[in-house]
Structure 1
C-alpha cells in the first residue's frame, strides 16, 4: 500500500500498479494507436497522392504527432487518467495527492512517453519502473502522477455483533480521541472473526485488546463485563459519534436509540440468533434475568398488610406509613377531617 495525504489531510491507501500490469496496458494502448495511425496514414496517402514529397513528409509527421502523441494525451485528459488499456486492466493515473489528473499532467506524461516508450522501445520506462518504489516511470516523476490499481479484490467484511442491551449508551462520556486507528482495526477484525477462533485464544485476545483500549481511553474496563462485550459496546459508541458528526448533533445515534429502548441493567443478556452457542461473546455466561412483575395497587389482596382485612397490622408496620390514605365512602378527599 502507498499512503497518500490529500489537501484535506486525509490519508489514502492506494495500491500502485506494478510493471506487468502497466506493460499490458501500454501494449493495448500502443496496438490501438498503431491501428488508428495506419488507417489514418493510408487515408492521407490516398488523399495526398498528387502532392510533392515534402508535403507528404509533413503530413506524415503531423499524423504521427496527432495520433501517437496527441491521441493518448487527449484520451487521458478527457477520461481523467483512464486510457483504453488502463481501463481494460483496471488501472488509473492519479496525482500524487490522489486527485484526478489534468491536461498538463497528461501532456508531460505523453511527451516524455514518446522518448522512453516509443523511441527506446520501452527500455527506459521499464528500467525506471523497476527502480522506483512505487513503479513510476520518468513521465510520472516529472508530471507528479502515479498509476494505481482501481479494481482490488476485497474480502467481504464480517458482521460485527451488537453489544448487550444493558451496555448500550454506557460509554457516552468515554474519551476515544487517543485510540489509534490500528487498535480500532484490530478490534473490528476480532469481533468479526471471534467465532472462528479457539475459545481460549479468543478470550486471551479479547482480554489483551480490552486492556489496550482501556489504556488508550484512560478509563478502566467495567468489572464483570466480558471483554468481547466491552469491545463491541465501545465500537458501537464510536460509530454513534461518527453518525452524529456526519448528520448533525441533533440526530440521535444508534447508542442513544438503543439505550432509550434497552431494559434495565441485569447481569446477563439474551441469545443472538445465528451465533454458535446462542451468545455472541466468549466468556460471558448469561445469568437468569429477573422476570418483571406487574405493578400492584395499594389495598388489593395481593399485597399483605395493605388493605387486607384478614391481616393484622401493628403500629410499627412499615406498610402503614407508606400506604396512602384512602378516604371513606361518602367523604370528600379534601385532606381535611371534619370535627367530631
Structure 2
C-alpha cells in the first residue's frame, strides 16, 4: 500500500502493482499489439499499396505500423480508458498520477514514448530496463512512470471521491478572492484532517489547533483572517473554495449544505 495526497488534500491508500502483475499485463498487451500490427500491416498492404509499387511504399507501411502499435496503442488506450490498456483492464490495474488522480493524454504520451524507446524495445533490452528500474523504485516505477509522474496501482473499483468541505455562505465572498496557489499540499492536508476530525477533539483542542492553522494558512495566503468568525468556519471556507476550483462541477443538482454554526 502507498499513500497518495490528492490535489484536494485528501489522503488515499492504493496498493502498488508490482513486477509479476505488471509483467502479466504487459504480455497480454504484447499479444494484442501483435494481432493489431498483423491486421494493420496486411490490411494496408492489401488495400492501400498500388499494384507494382516499389519497396519504399512497403517501408512506409512498416514504419507506420510499428509506430501505431508500439506508441499509438498504449497512448490511445490509456487516454480513452483513463490509465488502462487491455492488459491492465484484465488484471485490474490502472495508471494514476502521483497524487492519485487520473492521467490524461500528456501522461499517456510520455509513458508511451518512453516505453517504446527506453523501457521495452529500442533501448530496453526487451523489458530489462523496465524490470531493473521497477525493482529499484519503492513504487515499482519504470522510466516512463518517472518521466510522466505516474504510478501503476491495483484499482478495480473507481477511485474514492474526497469528502467535500462545507463553507458558510457569509464567507464565500471572502474565500472566492483568495489566491490559493500559495497554500502548500501538506498544510492543506493538515487543514482537511482538522475539519474531518473536528468533532472528535475537545473544545480546547478545537480552538487551539484551529487558531494555529488559521494563522499559518492566512500567513501563507498573505491575507488577514476575517475577524469575528471561529477557526472552523474560516478553514472550511478556504478548503471548500479550493475544492470548488479543482473538482469538476456536479452534473446533478446538489442541495445546499446546512451552514456551520459558530462555536
TM tier, smaller: 0.5 to 0.7
Corresponding position: 1:99 with 2:108: no
**Cα distance between partner residues in 2 of 1:178 and 1:54:** 66
Contact 1:75 1:82 in 2 (8 A): yes
Distance 1:150 1:178, change over 3 A: closer
Gaps of 5+ in 2: 158-192, 205-254
Contact 1:37 1:68 in 2 (8 A): no
Contact 1:117 1:123 in 2 (8 A): yes
**Cα distance between partner residues in 2 of 1:92 and 1:78:** 12
- List per-residue Cα deviations over 1:106-146 (Å, max 9, x = no partner): 00000010121123211000111111000110000000011
Contact 1:44 1:59 in 2 (8 A): yes
- Give the corresponding residue for 1:302: none
Show the 5 A alignment for 1:71-110.
71-110=73-112
SS at match of 1:8: coil
**Cα distance between partner residues in 2 of 1:114 and 1:62:** 14
SS at match of 1:20: helix
Contact 1:34 1:68 in 2 (8 A): no
- List per-residue Cα deviations over 1:274-309 (Å, max 9, x = no partner): xxxxxxxxxxxxxxxxxxxxxxxxxxxxxxxxxxxx
Show the 5 A alignment for 1:185-204.
none
- Give the corresponding residue for 1:133: 138
State the Cα distance separating 1:99 from its structure 2 match: 1.1
**Cα distance between partner residues in 2 of 1:62 and 1:217:** 66
State the Cα distance separating 1:9 from its structure 2 match: 1.1
**Cα distance between partner residues in 2 of 1:148 and 1:24:** 14
Gaps of 5+ in 1: 153-176, 185-212, 220-245, 252-340
Distance 1:87 1:178, change over 3 A: closer
Contact 1:6 1:98 in 2 (8 A): yes
- List per-residue Cα deviations over 1:75-119 (Å, max 9, x = no partner): 111111011111100000111111111111000000010121123
TM-score of the two chains, using structure 1 as the length reference: 0.46
- Give the corresponding residue for 2:54: 52
State the Cα distance separating 1:63 from its structure 2 match: 1.4
Contact 2:70 2:112 in 1 (8 A): no
- List per-residue Cα deviations over 1:55-76 (Å, max 9, x = no partner): 2111110111122211211111
CA RMSD of aligned residues (A): 2.8
Higher helix share: 2
- Give the corresponding residue for 2:120: 117
State the Cα distance separating 1:179 from its structure 2 match: 11
Distance 1:178 1:7, change over 3 A: closer
Contact 1:86 1:92 in 2 (8 A): yes
Distance 1:218 1:123, change over 3 A: same
State the Cα distance separating 1:218 from its structure 2 match: 7.8
**Cα distance between partner residues in 2 of 1:178 and 1:56:** 64
Of 126, 133, 149 in structure 2, the residue corresponding to residue 144 of structure 1 is: 149
Show the 5 A alignment for 1:300-315.
none
Alignment length (residue pairs): 170
Corresponding position: 1:39 with 2:36: no
**Cα distance between partner residues in 1 of 2:21 and 2:194:** 40
SS at match of 2:112: helix
Contact 2:36 2:69 in 1 (8 A): yes
Which structure is larger by alpha-carbon Rg, 1 or 2? 1
State the Cα distance separating 1:247 from its structure 2 match: 7.2
